[in-house]
Amino acid sequence: MTGTTNSLIDKASGLRVLSVANQKGGVGKTTTAINLGTALAAVGERVLILDLDPQGNASTGLGITNDQRSLSSYEVLAGEVSLSEAIQETLVPDLHIVPANADLVGLETAMMSEANKPYRLRDAVSTWVAEQHSGASGAGLFTYVLIDCPPSLNLLTLNAMVASHAVLVPVQCEFFALEGISQLNESIEQIRASLNPELEIQGVVLTMHDARTGLSKEVALNVREFFGPKVYETVIPRNVRVAEAPSHGKPILLYDHDCPGSKAYVELAREIIDREKMYQAA
Ligand SMILES: Nc1ncnc2c1ncn2[C@@H]1O[C@H](COP(=O)(O)OP(=O)(O)OP(=O)(O)O)[C@@H](O)[C@H]1O
Ligand SMILES: [Mg+2]
C-alpha cells in the first residue's frame, strides 16, 4: 500500500485519531494521554494509546514493563509487524496500548532511504481500521486513538500528525507557556498544506494549574486570549496524586479515583467527546 494515495482514516469508521503534541518538554502530554485515555474508556469509549516517544513514559505509566515491549511502535513504523500485532491490553478495561522503547531513537536513520516515511503510521492505522471493519480482529471497534508524541517536531511527531484527525495541545500553566506555540502552529499549517489537509487543533488543555497562584491565572487568561474557544473549559489542576500515579504503573483513575486530578480528566473526556460530536456533525 502506498501512503501517498491513502486518504485519512474515514470519518465513517467511527475512529478518531488525536495526537497529543507540544514540542515543549514536560507540559503534561503523557499524563494527558494516559489519564484522558483512561477517562474516555471509563465513559464507554474503546481506546488505544500509541506511545510514540522513545522515553516510553506512557508505557511505564500504564504498567508495561521493559520485557513487555518487544513488539513496540518501532516495529510498527519499521513495517516489521502490523499495528494489531503490537497492541496490548492494560489494567484498564477498554484501554489498550502500543508501547514504546528507546529503539525509536534510531528510527530516523533506519528509515532514511524510505520514500514514504511520513506515512508509515497512517498506513499502519489504515490497515488496522480496515481489518477491524472486515471483522478480522474479532473484537469491538476502537473509537479513539491517542498518540503520545515526543517533545520534538521530528519524524515521529510528523508521522503522528499525518495519521491524525486533530491535535490536542497540552499547555502548562507556567511562565513561557506559549513559548514554541507559534512553531507548533506553523508545523500544523505546513502539514495541513501538504501531507494531511484535514489536520486541525481539536483543543488546548491547560495543565498543572495552581489556583493559589496569580501566575497560573494569568497564564490561563493569556492562553485563552491566544487560542480563544479552542481552549477547553476543563482545567487540569496541579495535583500531587497525578504525579505519583505513574510510579505505581497506574492511571490516576485507578490510583485515586476521587482526587481532583481524576475528576478533571473525566470532565475533559466529556468535553472532548462533545467537541468530537460537534466536529463530526459539521
Ligand atoms: N496535573 C498534574 N499535577 C502534578 N504533576 C503533574 C501533572 N501533570 C503532569 N505532572 C507531572 O509533570 C511532569 C511532566 O509531565 P508529563 O510527563 O506528562 O509531560 P510530557 O509533556 O509528556 O513530558 P515530555 O515532554 O518529557 O514527554 C511529570 O513528572 C508528571 O508527573
Ligand atoms: Mg511525555
**What is the mean pLDDT, run by run of 10 residues, along the chain of 282 residues?**
52 88 97 98 97 98 97 95 97 97 87 80 94 72 96 94 96 91 94 95 97 94 95 98 97 97 98 88 74
pLDDT, tens digit, 9 for 90 and up, residues 143-174? 999 999 999 999 999 999 999 999 999 999 99
List all residues 6 or more positions away from 240 whose beta carbon is below 8 Å from its beta carbon. none
Q: Which of 22, 30, 232, 239 to mutate to test the pocket of ligand 1 (most atoms within 8 A of CB)?
A: 30
pLDDT, tens digit, 9 for 90 and up, residues 213-231? 999 999 999 999 999 999 9
pLDDT recorded at residue 111: 75
Cβ-contact 125, 8 below 8 angstroms: no
11 CA distance to ligand 1 middle (Å): 31
d(CA 262, CA 239): 9
What number of other Cβ atoms are within 10 A of residue 246's Cβ? 21
Is the pTM value of this prediction over 0.85? yes
Q: Which amino acid is at 38?
A: T
Q: C-alpha grid cell for residue 59?
A: 508505557
- Residue that is written with C-alpha cell 503522528 in the block: 160
Coil vs helix vs strand at 183? helix
- The CATH number assigned to the domain with range 15-281 reads 3.40.50.300
Q: Could you tell me the residue ranges of all domains in the chain?
A: 15-281
Cβ-contact 82, 132 below 8 angstroms: no
Exposure string for 177-204, b = 16+ CB within 10 A, e = fewer: bbebbeebeebbeebeeebbeebeebbb
CB under 6 Å to ligand 1: residues?
25-31, 53, 55, 57, 151, 207-208, 236, 238-239, 242-243, 246, 261
Q: Which of 31, 52, 153 to mutate to test the pocket of ligand 1 (most atoms within 8 A of CB)?
A: 31
**Rama region for 38: left / alpha / beta (φ>0; ψ in -120 to 50; rest):** alpha
Average pLDDT of the chain?
92
Q: Where are the alpha helices (DSSP H) in the chain?
A: 29-42, 57-61, 73-77, 83-86, 107-110, 120-133, 155-162, 181-193, 214-227, 240-244, 252-255, 260-281
d(CA 95, CA 39): 9
What number of other Cβ atoms are within 10 A of residue 100's Cβ? 27
Which is the closest atom of ligand 1 to the Cα of 245? 31
- Residue that is written with C-alpha cell 518538554 in the block: 25
Is beta strand 144-148 parallel, antiparallel or unpaired with respect to 47-51?
A: parallel
Which-ligand-closest: CA of 169?
Answer: 1
Which is the closest atom of ligand 1 to the Cα of 170? 21
